[in-house]
């Protein structure tokens, strides 16, 4: 089986490529670095020739509202058209838990637009919505920084290790299309402000975290349903505390 991973040079993409190759699948890591550009269409036809499955984990280089929407709409249209021409049998895409619940976020609106393009195409598909990665917790904390304090929502978050997300995507890629949405999340839920305190304590960072129900998360106010999975998600095996100990030791 030939599987093309769009965004195959990134954090998630390279992990998926390694997993699929280890299991004996012909796997192509496609990205601008390898001459494949979904925004311009460069290299798509050649790369997708003979492919049965495409896994799209590409991300926008800019999170500015207009730029991120243009990225996912243009990239999505180009990729899906090329897949239709190539006879691709299964389109797998990584999305985000909360895309349908946080319309004030430009990034979430863009991901929702991407999902709708996939659903409207005639290609069998599986969309995996993931909760936030452990690896991005630090950037979320810093986004709420104001001098020596950090304001974050106390809403629940259910973060997951990027490695666990990659494992699920690799599994979905070799399975039958769901023609729907699958969710994946970490094994534990925390108030976001509490999670930040755990992270900062492990890094011996003395900044104070203040719980603020009006603190914005990529443009949106949160509630306890915004960033957690719904019913019957797939659950990653890595607990945040274990990941935190390992990652802090590598600092």
pLDDT the model gives residue 251: 66
Contact predicate 13/7, CB 8 Å: yes
How far apart (Å, rounded) are the C-alpha atoms in residues 5 and 14? 9
Give domain limits for the chain: 2-249
Mean pLDDT of 44-73: 96
The pTM of the whole model exceeds 0.85: yes
Topology (CATH level 3) of domain 2-249: Rossmann fold (3.40.50)
Q: Which helix (DSSP H) or strand (DSSP E) does residue 122 occupy?
A: none
pLDDT the model gives residue 248: 82
Give the largest CA-CA distance in the chain.
55
Can you spell out the DSSP letters for 190-229?
Answer: EEHHHHHHHHHHHTT---EEEE-TT--BTTB---TTTBS-
Mean pLDDT, rounded, of the chain: 96
Dump pLDDT digits (tens) for 29-44: 999 999 999 999 999 9
Contact predicate 168/161, CB 8 Å: no
pLDDT at residue 239 tops 70: yes
**Phi, psi angle pair for 4, to nearest 5°:** -105, 130
């Amino acid at each position: 089986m030939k599987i093309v991973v769009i965004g195959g040079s990134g954090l998630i993409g390279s992990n998926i490529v390694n997993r699929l190759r280890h299991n004996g699948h012909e796997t192509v890591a496609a990205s601008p670095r390898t001459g494949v550009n979904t925004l311009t269409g460069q290299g798509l036809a050649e790369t997708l020739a003979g492919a049965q499955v495409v896994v799209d984990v590409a991300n926008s280089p800019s999170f500015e509202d207009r730029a991120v929407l243009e990225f996912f709409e243009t990239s999505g249209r180009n990729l899906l058209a090329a897949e239709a021409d190539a006879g691709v049998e299964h389109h797998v895409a990584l999305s985000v838990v909360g895309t349908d619940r946080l319309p004030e976020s430009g990034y979430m609106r863009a991901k929702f637009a991407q999902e709708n393009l996939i659903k409207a195409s005639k290609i069998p598909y599986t969309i995996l919505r993931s909760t936030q990665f452990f690896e991005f917790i630090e950037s979320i904390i810093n986004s709420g920084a104001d001098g020596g304090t950090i304001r974050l929502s106390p809403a629940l978050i259910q973060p997951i290790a990027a490695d666990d997300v990659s494992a699920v995507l690799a599994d979905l890629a070799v399975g039958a299309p769901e023609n729907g949405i699958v969710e994946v999340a970490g094994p534990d839920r925390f108030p976001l402000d509490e999670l930040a305190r755990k992270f900062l304590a492990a890094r011996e960072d003395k900044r104070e975290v203040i719980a603020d129900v009006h603190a914005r998360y990529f443009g949106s106010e949160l509630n306890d349903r915004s960033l957690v999975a719904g019913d019957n998600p797939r659950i990653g095996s890595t607990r945040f505390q274990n990941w935190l100990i390992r990652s802090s030791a590598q600092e």
